[in-house]
């Protein structure tokens, strides 16, 4: 289970332009649950995902974040990955010159090595890739291409879900995975996520739109505004937001 | 073509425009045996002669030597050849090389250079290439040895529909200085030239890339491409880049680009989020940067050698 307590984070913490973006986030995601975070642009949604994954552009100034009682904030990004934290990026990064199968193999074996598990040989990995591609409706031709290079928006997001399926994390953060997707691509992505729902796995689904939550049914919906969670509720809260917009929360927090 | 040999009694100085980043006389060993004779290598392939297996030339320098290899390659029309030119040696010496390459109509030369001279040595290599119609010159240079190296290429495309490719990778560290200076002259229409160079510079190493494409008035429909990317692994490393286009024809497609910088943070974080350690992520990204050029080497054996040497170099560089 994920516990985030009074988390504050700033960008450019050391300099004069220092700006606090997360202003005390408290959140608990029990194992097996899917929580959604909705909020207007600039509310701190992406910052929260980067802080949880360990990007060092942000500095945590106070508060804690733990997974099964283990402090996440003290770990390097790769240690968090090995512990079971996965971030599906809002903008998956293109890596020219590194092909997909090499990337997936290196990623999976790096995680296994850190966990003290045996590395898988090329054949076993290939088999696993084949199975997962089939499950997710991803063409295997994609495996011969360089990571995300020349991929369409939909392919990039499906690729994120494929990596999540390969790494089988304990805690997956999906950062605006729905942005820019047409309805068919959205369904494929949501379907991939739903297949991975598990009593031992938690999800944090960050989104701007309620539409995604039609396909990935959350247990709890939180509203993030001005770096704080200003309201939490059931799935009905998402519908409310879709109708009324975020104006009321922006006023409240300001 | 005139012989562009460098003369020890009349060395170029940084006052000359194309030598402004490279001070040759300061780098030459103090004592050189000037009595050394020239070494002549003649390669001639007759009309339509196709050589399947790559031919290897090894040029070895020795302490105190003023080594002056002269390489002449002539391919008659329709001939095909792959040459692997290896540079090695031991001690402080000056390898002062001249290569004259003539490629006849519809002939094809693949020229792979692996320059791994001693770290105290100076290597200057002046290359003149003439391409007849439908000729292909496809070259790759791995530049990793020497204290100071200068690879100067002057290619003249004389016949139509010819293609000239000059690719290379520089892997330099310590106080190494590697200079690549290129002039491609397009004198005939419907020809293509490509230049794709990537440099990885560590410590106080300095790379120089000067590439000029000169398109003469007659050379309509020229397709000229030039790209130099440099990755600096240390704050003291330096890259000087001077891309130039000089175009007198009005219907051509020419582009050039140059970048110099450090490794991007975004892919680094992406890979670490996927479990790679920072060292592994860096290695993978730098390797990919280099391999995008190496992948264009057509000869599989040479490609494997180059990949192996590059990998060993990178592992050493990232150990620090």
Contact flag A82-B287 (C-beta cutoff 8 Å): no
Mutate to test the interface with B, among A93, A125, A165 (most CBs of B within 10 A): A93
B214-263: pLDDT as tens digits = 999 999 999 999 999 999 999 999 999 999 999 999 999 999 999 999 99
**B213 and B249 in contact (C-beta within 8 Å)?**
no
Q: What is the pLDDT of residue A254?
A: 45
CB contacts, 8 Å: A110 with chain B: 274-277, 280
**B164 and B184 in contact (C-beta within 8 Å)?**
yes
CB contacts, 8 Å: B269 with chain A: 53, 55, 77, 93
- The encoded tokens of residue B316 equal 């050493």
Reported residue count of chain A is: 254
Q: In chain A, positions 174-233, which contact chain B (CB-CB < 8 Å)?
A: none
Contact flag A97-B287 (C-beta cutoff 8 Å): yes
Binning pLDDT at 50, 70 and 90, where does residue B3 land?
low
Nearest Cβ partner of B292 from A54, A55, A96? Answer: A96
Contact flag A103-B285 (C-beta cutoff 8 Å): no
Q: Is A77 on the interface with B (CB under 8 A)?
A: yes
CB contacts, 8 Å: B291 with chain A: 97
Q: Is A165 on the interface with B (CB under 8 A)?
A: no
Q: Could you give the strand order of the β-sheet that contains A19-29, starting from the edge strand earlier in sequence?
A: A19-29, A2-11, A58-67, A70-71
B27-65: pLDDT as tens digits = 998 888 887 778 899 999 999 999 989 999 999 999 999
Contact flag B275-A167 (C-beta cutoff 8 Å): yes
Q: What is the pLDDT of residue B114?
A: 98
Contact flag B274-A81 (C-beta cutoff 8 Å): yes
C-alpha neighbours within 13 Å on the C-beta side of residue B100: 12
CB contacts, 8 Å: B288 with chain A: 95-98
* C-alpha distance from B292 to closest chain A C-alpha (Å): 6
Chain A nearest-CA residue for B263: A95
**CA distance readout (Å), B153 to A181, B195, B198:** 50, 11, 17
CB-CB neighbours of B76 under 10 Å: 17
Mean pLDDT within B131-139 = 98
* C-alpha distance from A82 to closest chain B C-alpha (Å): 6
Residue A205, phi then psi, degrees to nearest 5: -105, 110
CA distance B14 to B217: 31
Chain A nearest-CA residue for B287: A97
Contact residues for B111 (Cβ-Cβ < 8 A; gap 6+): B82, B83, B85, B101, B137, B138, B139, B140
% of chain B at pLDDT higher than 70 = 99
Mutate to test the interface with A, among B265, B270, B278, B307 (most CBs of A within 10 A): B270
CA distance B239 to B261: 9
B272-305: pLDDT as tens digits = 999 999 999 999 999 999 999 999 999 999 999 9
Mean pLDDT within B193-211 = 97
Determine which of A241-245, B120-124, B314-318 has the lowest per-residue pLDDT on average. A241-245
Low pLDDT (below 70) residues in chain A = 251-254
Q: Is A100 on the interface with B (CB under 8 A)?
A: no
Binning pLDDT at 50, 70 and 90, where does residue B1 land?
low
B contact set with A (CB within 8 A): 265-267, 269-278, 280, 284-285, 287-289, 291-292
DSSP secondary-structure letter at A156? H
**CA distance readout (Å), A106 to A113, A155, B16, B266, B283:** 10, 20, 49, 18, 12
Q: What is the pLDDT of residue A245?
A: 83
* C-alpha distance from A146 to closest chain B C-alpha (Å): 10
Q: Which residue has the tokens 């030039």?
A: B226
- The ipTM value here is 0.95
CA distance A171 to A173: 7
Q: Is A55 on the interface with B (CB under 8 A)?
A: yes
Contact residues for B101 (Cβ-Cβ < 8 A; gap 6+): B71, B72, B73, B74, B109, B111, B127, B128, B129, B130, B137
Whether B165 shows a pLDDT value over 90: the answer reads yes
Chain A nearest-CA residue for B289: A97
Q: What is the pLDDT of residue B195?
A: 98
Nearest Cβ partner of B270 from A82, A93, A110? Answer: A93
Nearest-CA neighbor of A41 among A176, A211, A173, A190? A176
**Enclosing H/E stretch for B275:** none
């Amino acid at each position: 289970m994920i516990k985030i307590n009074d988390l504050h984070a700033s960008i450019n913490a050391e300099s004069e332009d220092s700006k606090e973006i997360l202003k005390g986030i408290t959140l608990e995601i029990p194992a097996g649950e899917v929580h959604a975070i909705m909020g207007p642009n600039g509310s701190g949604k992406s910052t929260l995902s980067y802080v949880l994954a360990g990007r060092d552009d942000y500095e945590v100034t106070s508060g804690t974040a733990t997974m099964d009682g283990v402090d996440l904030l003290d770990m390097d990004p790769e240690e968090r990955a090995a512990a079971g934290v996965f971030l599906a990026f809002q903008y998956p990064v293109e890596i020219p010159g590194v092909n997909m199968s090499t990337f997936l193999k290196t990623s999976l074996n790096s995680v296994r090595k850190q966990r003290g598990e045996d590395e898988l040989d090329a054949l076993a990995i290939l088999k696993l890739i084949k199975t997962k591609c089939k499950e997710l409706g991803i063409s295997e031709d994609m495996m011969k291409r360089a990571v995300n290079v020349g991929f369409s928006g939909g392919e990039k997001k499906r690729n994120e879900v494929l990596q999540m399926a390969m790494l089988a994390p304990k805690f997956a953060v999906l950062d605006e995975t729905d942005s820019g997707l047409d309805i068919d691509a959205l369904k494929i992505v949501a379907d991939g996520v739903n297949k991975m729902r598990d009593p031992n796995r938690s999800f944090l689904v960050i989104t701007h739109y309620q539409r995604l939550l039609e396909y990935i049914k959350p247990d709890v919906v939180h509203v993030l505004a001005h770096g704080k969670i200003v309201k939490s509720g059931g799935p009905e809260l998402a519908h409310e937001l879709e109708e009324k917009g975020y104006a009321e929360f922006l006023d409240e927090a300001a | 073509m005139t012989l562009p040999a460098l003369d020890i009694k009349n060395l170029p100085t940084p006052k000359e425009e194309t030598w402004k980043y490279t001070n040759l006389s300061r780098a030459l060993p103090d004592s050189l045996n000037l009595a050394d004779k020239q070494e002549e290598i003649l390669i001639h392939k007759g009309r339509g002669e196709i050589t399947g297996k790559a031919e290897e030339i090894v040029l070895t320098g020795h302490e105190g030597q003023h080594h002056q290899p002269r390489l002449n390659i002539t391919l008659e029309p329709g001939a095909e050849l792959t040459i692997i030119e290896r540079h090695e040696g031991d001690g402080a010496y000056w390898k002062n090389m001249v290569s004259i390459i003539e490629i006849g109509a519809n002939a094809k030369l693949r020229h792979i250079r692996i320059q791994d001279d001693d770290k105290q040595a100076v290597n200057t290599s002046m290359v003149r290439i003439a391409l007849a119609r439908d000729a292909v010159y496809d070259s790759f240079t791995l530049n990793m040895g020497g204290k100071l190296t200068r690879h100067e290429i002057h290619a003249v495309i004389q016949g139509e529909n010819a293609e000239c490719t000059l690719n290379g990778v520089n892997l330099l560290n310590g106080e190494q200085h590697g200079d690549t200076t290129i002039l491609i002259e397009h004198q005939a229409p419907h020809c293509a030239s490509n230049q794709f160079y990537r440099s990885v510079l560590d410590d106080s190493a300095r790379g120089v890339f000067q590439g000029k494409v000169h398109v003469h008035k007659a050379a309509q429909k020229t397709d000229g491409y030039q790209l130099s990317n440099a990755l600096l692994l240390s704050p003291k490393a330096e890259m000087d880049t001077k891309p130039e286009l000089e175009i007198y024809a009005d219907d051509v497609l020419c582009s050039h680009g140059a970048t110099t910088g450090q490794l991007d943070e975004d892919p680094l974080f992406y890979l670490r989020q996927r479990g790679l350690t920072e060292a592994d992520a860096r290695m993978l990204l730098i390797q990919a940067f280099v391999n995008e050029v190496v992948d264009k080497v057509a000869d599989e054996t040479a490609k494997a050698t180059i990949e192996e040497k590059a990998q060993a170099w990178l592992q050493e560089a990232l150990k620090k």
